[in-house]
Amino acid sequence: MILMIIFLGITLLGIISIKLGNNYYNNFGDFLAIYGGISTTISSTCLIVSIIAIILSHATAPKVIQENKINYEGLCKRYEIAKSEYEDVSKSDVIADITAWNVQVYKVKYWTDNPWTSWYNPKEIADNLDYILLE
């Protein structure tokens, strides 16, 4: 959210600089016009890329949620097997996979709650992720 506001602010400042630069007919006006053109171009490009990234991340949220549910259920099942007396898989592999899952869940929840990147991470995905508790 904050990144979008910054890009929008720089774009607006660049447009204002172009307008002011066109009103002055000296070196300062040329500097303002050039600065405005460069900053407007770069910041508006970043703004467009950010909007596309936000749209894509929210459009694919249901797919990501379903993939996460499948991974979660598979890891829980593997952990149940590893805890049983009939050990079909290596416990260390299961614990490593569960730890990697929990780290990934933490990252998604962290970036979703971060004001700098919250718009890029759909809250529905973070709300549908659960930690797997190791006993």
- How much is the pTM? 0.66
pLDDT confidence of residue 48: 95
Per-residue pLDDT tens over the stretch 90-124: 777 788 888 899 999 998 998 888 888 888 888 99
44-58, 68-82, 117-131: segment of lowest average pLDDT: 68-82
The per-residue pLDDT of the chain, averaged, comes to 86
What residue spans define the domains of the chain?
Answer: 2-57, 60-127
Three-class HEC string of 68-107 = HHHHHHHHHHHHHHHHCCCCCCCHHHHHHHHHHHHHHHHH
Q: Residue 129: how many CA atoms within 13 Å on its side-chain side?
A: 22
H helix or E strand, kind and range, residue 20:
helix 2-23
Tell me the average pLDDT across 60-71: 87
Residue 66 has pLDDT above 80, yes or no: yes
pLDDT confidence of residue 39: 93
Output phi, psi for 18, to 5 deg: -65, -45
CB 76 within 8 A of CB 134: no
pLDDT confidence of residue 42: 95
Per-residue pLDDT tens over the stretch 6-24: 999 999 999 998 888 887 7
pLDDT confidence of residue 89: 55
Tell me the average pLDDT across 69-74: 88
Tell me the average pLDDT across 14-42: 85
Residue 15 CB contacts under 8 Å (≥ 6 apart), including other chains: 36, 40
Residue 135 has pLDDT above 80, yes or no: no
pLDDT confidence of residue 96: 83
